[in-house]
């Protein structure tokens, strides 16, 4: 039997913050006590919060491909990613792995297989700080995305799949002027080059997207993999997601789509960097505005791991009437529930002792300790 205790902590519960102590036994929380009295590690008034649950981060891919044409050794990339994830207070993470080849990466399956194999072997070997799962980001206009899904989905680590379409003129890129500006920034070339690229992507969309979506939704349902839609922009997009049994609406781009998704019972996920920056990097709806309207359930760190904790501590200063417990729910209990976990995301007896010690006052928190199932990992 292993037992640890923490005392003199500001413990963030589901509906309040209490000053007191907490007892962990064999990886589970067994008692939360208000006031002084229990002997244990003295937190000196620091916060004790649940371990964060991250459903969508591209950070592993960024470590694996740190520069265009440069690919890092997958396990080394995972090691660096895992250290930063845990150091940001994240104890459960869904690593987003894109599937579906395109002109930039025509051998996408080779890269995806390396990343998925690294996550699985790292977890099985027991050397990862956080608990890692796979989130397959399925690019619908790709000719081979269904084959990639079939190669990677049938494993307990694959728990989430999102259906995406980044075709010019669709969803995130509804404005063709904005897309041409995006193309010029990231790819260069002439206006004729841009138009040729746009024409090719739109032709792929017409040929593959609808059939691929039907196939992937059917497979995900059969395998009990949670589904997310991506960049919903219109009522039609939300209606399609609802008909497909989608559980999570990732990064809706308009207030109209977010309101419709909320009404349909979908969990709405937005990027924590959007909160930190105060706006979307691509000019879409503000995550903070969605919180204020009661239309946001989950935050995702997306491309900056620490943004998850930073945004949760920022929100009470940005949204009138929002307390820290409810702000932290967007990065703990809400994503846990959306992913089908009932054993984590909250400080309560019987829950996993996935815990984070957070210091600092104001809106910039500092992680001072992380425990997963009662074992210190950072």
Q: How many domains does the chain have?
A: 1
- Confirm whether 8 is domain-assigned: no
The pLDDT score that the predictor gives to residue 374 is 97
Residues of the chain with confidence (pLDDT) below 70: 1, 37-38, 168-169, 171-176, 178-189, 281-283, 361
User: Are the beta carbons of 258 and 249 closer than 8 angstroms?
Assistant: yes
- Confirm whether 353 is domain-assigned: no
The pLDDT score that the predictor gives to residue 283 is 64
pTM for the whole structure: 0.92
- Confirm whether 157 is domain-assigned: yes
Count of beta carbons in the 10 Å neighbourhood of residue 345: 28
pLDDT digits (tens, 9 = 90+) for 349-374: 999 999 999 997 677 899 999 999 99
- Confirm whether 22 is domain-assigned: no
Structural domain for 143, as ranges? 51-344
The pLDDT score that the predictor gives to residue 318 is 93
- Confirm whether 41 is domain-assigned: no
User: Are the beta carbons of 245 and 217 closer than 8 angstroms?
Assistant: yes
- Confirm whether 46 is domain-assigned: no
The pLDDT score that the predictor gives to residue 173 is 66
The pLDDT score that the predictor gives to residue 195 is 75
- Confirm whether 184 is domain-assigned: yes
The pLDDT score that the predictor gives to residue 35 is 82
CATH code where residue 279 lies:
3.20.20.140
Two tokens, residue 119:
């996550």
């Amino acid at each position: 039997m292993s037992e640890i205790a923490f005392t003199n902590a500001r413990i963030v519960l589901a509906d309040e913050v209490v000053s007191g102590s907490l007892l962990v036994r064999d990886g589970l929380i067994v008692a939360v006590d208000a006031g002084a009295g229990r002997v244990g590690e003295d937190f000196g008034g620091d916060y004790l919060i649940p371990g964060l649950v991250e459903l969508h981060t591209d950070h592993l891919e960024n470590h694996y491909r740190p520069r265009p044409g440069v690919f890092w050794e997958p396990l080394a990339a995972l090691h660096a990613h895992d250290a930063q994830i845990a150091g940001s207070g994240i104890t459960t993470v869904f690593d987003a792995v894109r599937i579906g080849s395109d002109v930039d990466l025509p051998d996408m399956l080779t890269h995806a297989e390396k990343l998925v194999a690294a996550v699985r072997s790292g977890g099985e070997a027991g050397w990862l700080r956080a608990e890692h799962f796979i989130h397959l980001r399925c690019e619908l206009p790709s000719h081979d995305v269904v084959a990639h899904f079939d190669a990677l989905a049938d494993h307990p680590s694959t728990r989430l799949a999102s259906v995406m379409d980044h075709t010019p003129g669709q969803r995130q890129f509804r404005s063709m002027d904005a897309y041409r500006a995006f193309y010029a920034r990231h790819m260069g070339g002439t206006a004729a080059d841009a138009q040729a690229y746009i024409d090719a992507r739109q032709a792929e969309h017409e040929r593959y997207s609808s059939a691929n979506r039907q196939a992937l939704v059917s497979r995900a349902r059969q395998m009990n993999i949670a589904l997310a839609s991506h960049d919903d922009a219109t009522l039609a997009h939300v209606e399609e997601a609802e008909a497909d049994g989608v559980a999570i609406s990732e990064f809706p781009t308009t207030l109209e789509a977010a309101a419709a998704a909320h009404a349909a019972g979908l969990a709405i996920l937005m990027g924590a960097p959007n909160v930190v920056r105060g706006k979307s990097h691509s000019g879409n709806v503000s995550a903070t505005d969605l919180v204020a309207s009661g239309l946001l359930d989950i935050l995702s760190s997306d491309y900056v791991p620490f943004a998850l904790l930073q945004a949760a501590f920022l929100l009470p200063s940005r949204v009138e009437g929002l307390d820290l417990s409810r702000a932290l729910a967007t990065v703990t209990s809400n994503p846990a529930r959306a992913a089908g976990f009932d054993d984590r995301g909250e400080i309560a007896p019987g829950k996993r002792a996935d815990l984070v010690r957070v210091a600092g006052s104001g809106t910039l928190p500092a992680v001072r300790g992380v425990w997963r199932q009662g074992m210190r990992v950072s």
